[in-house]
Amino acid sequence: MHFDKVIKNGRLVTGERIFSGDIGIADGKIAVIEDNLPAEDTKIIDAKGLLVLPGIIDVHVHLQLPFCGTVSVDDFFTGTRAAACGGVTTVIDFAIQNKSGTLYEAVENRRSEADGKVCVDYSLHAVPTDWRDDIRHEMKEIVDYGISTFKMFMVYRSEGLISEDDALFEALEESAKLGVMIGVHAESVTILEFLTDRYHTDEMMRKYGAYCHALSRPWYVEAEAVSRAINWAEATGGNLYIVHMSDGRSAEILNSAKDRQVNVFAETCPHYLLLDDEFFKLKDGHLYGTCPQLKKPEDQRRLWQALAGGELSVISTDTCTFNTEQKAMWNGDFTKIPFGMPGVETLLPLIYLHGVEAGKISLQRMVQLLSTNPAKLMGMYPQKGSLMLGSDADITIIDPESRTTLSYKNLQTNSDWSPYEGFEAMGMPVYTLLRGEIIAENGEFKGKAGSGSFIKRSAPDFNI
């Protein structure tokens, strides 16, 4: 059999097992996995001493998102170029419904921005913001189109993104009928707005600066909304996915919901695992403004436990890059910080060092959290998230011994700062392959705009 490429001598790590073998790639797919695969007239990638993983999947990015009075600066090209160099082969962004528009229009608009520009494969979550009967019916058409996840914001009233509880309740009912999943950004809007007003005074902002952002978003702002969303999922039998979980109490609530067999899953992000709210006290503390807020070291500990223990199923990044000039729009007012940070490129090496190498999660668990579970929950498995015969040859090869000190200067993001500046990282990707093509090598981008495609997704596989 002829292969387009053979990856030789690597140690293969999947969500199920770790083993040695050579991978033969043909027509963008994994064709054979065998020891000592003959490889005449074929490009050989020597993976001796390296770990061969299924491509990393980041299910939560916001590229060129109009938000907080500006537009996030990693667009579909630079954001996915950064993804490729970070070993990420699939991202999921969001198609946000315009008021009085439809979900289909939102998806087509977003696709017209992304197609031809993306360097890795991608999909979209459909985001209803104007809940109506026709939108409820439209969900089925969107599923047939290949989008099996919807996302609703329980906050962002003034931005016009919020879904009220009745909308969330009905969407969850529909999710049970269609076998699809509703993601939620869970924060309690009433208490959040109340606390924001409390700290939004000249006196408070002079005294606390960017730390007002943390003071106005304590743990219970998230935990209350998590609890409420879980109640609606339990009442309706719906399928719920909590995005960017940031606090330990929410992890407890999630745990007890799982004990009651509620079909709820959740992700957290590297910034909730590695940064805490003391960062707001730094001179440039406003740069770290994101929602939900960075919490406390005890929250970080509980989130790591939940990743290891199985309550949390996915690590995503919520990449939403604003540069220092955009962040400066805050001008001393914490309510004007553009919310979000870069992250897709540093996901894997940060989690490898601070999770696996630090002994908080196993190597195999990391692959589950960064690839297999995202693929299953988002309806892409085993096309993605696996090293099975017939799977897309999306493969990330890392050097488990390589250490690096992160700096935005060496990254592909369009950002002029990094929340992880000066952080140690480990296991930077040596090669990233997308459907068999090398799209990044040792931090250098080798793909092109349009190397990636829109991926049609099926119903989520909840068996993780």
Cβ–Cβ under 8 Å, residues 283 and 25: no
* 315 touches ligand URP by CB under 6 A: no
* 62 touches ligand URP by CB under 6 A: yes
Closest CA to 318 of 293, 287, 341: 341
Contacting residue, 340, 379, 419, 452, with ligand URP by CB under 6 A = 340
* 318 touches ligand URP by CB under 6 A: yes
Query: 27 burial class (0-12, 13-18, 19+ CB within 10 angstroms)?
Result: exposed
* 271 touches Zn ion by CB under 5 A: no
* 247 touches ligand URP by CB under 6 A: no
Minimum separation from the CB atom of position 237 to ligand URP (A)? 26
Stretch that binds Zn ion, among 230-238, 258-266, 312-320, 432-440 (CB under 5 A): 312-320
CB atoms within 10 A of CB 201: 11
Q: Among residues 315 and 398, whose Cβ is nearest to ligand URP?
A: 315
Residue 136, amino acid? R
Rounded-to-integer distance, Cα 280 and Cα 109, Å: 36
- Report CA torsion sign: 309, 61, 446, 454: positive
Stretch that binds Zn ion, among 14-22, 67-75, 181-189, 202-210 (CB under 5 A): 181-189
Cβ–Cβ under 8 Å, residues 62 and 319: yes
Q: Which residues are within 8 A (CB) of 320 and not within 5 positions of it... i.e. 6 or more apart?
A: 61, 62, 65, 67, 72, 290, 339, 340, 341
* 413 touches ligand URP by CB under 6 A: no
Contacting residue, 224, 311, 318, 392, with Zn ion by CB under 5 A = 318
Sequential DSSP letters for 122-184: EEEEEE-SS--HHHHHHHHHHHHHT--EEEEES--TTTT-B--HHHHHHHHHHHHHHT-EEEE
Q: Among residues 56 and 291, whose Cβ is nearest to ligand URP?
A: 291
Q: Among residues 183 and 447, whose Cβ is nearest to ligand URP?
A: 183
Q: Which residue is nearest to ligand URP (CB)?
A: 339
Cβ–Cβ under 8 Å, residues 179 and 239: yes
* 339 touches ligand URP by CB under 6 A: yes
* 22 touches ligand URP by CB under 6 A: no
Strands 264-268 and 240-242 come out as: parallel
Minimum separation from the CB atom of position 155 to ligand URP (A)? 8
290 binds, among ligand URP, Zn ion, none (CB under 5 to 8 A by kind): ligand URP
Contacting residue, 185, 295, 384, 457, with ligand URP by CB under 6 A = 185
Rounded-to-integer distance, Cα 397 and Cα 392, Å: 15
Rounded-to-integer distance, Cα 45 and Cα 40, Å: 13
* 286 touches ligand URP by CB under 6 A: no
Q: Among residues 89 and 290, whose Cβ is nearest to Zn ion?
A: 290
Positions in the binding site for Zn ion (CB under 5 A): 185, 318
Positions in the binding site for ligand URP (CB under 6 A): 62, 185, 290-291, 318, 320, 339-340
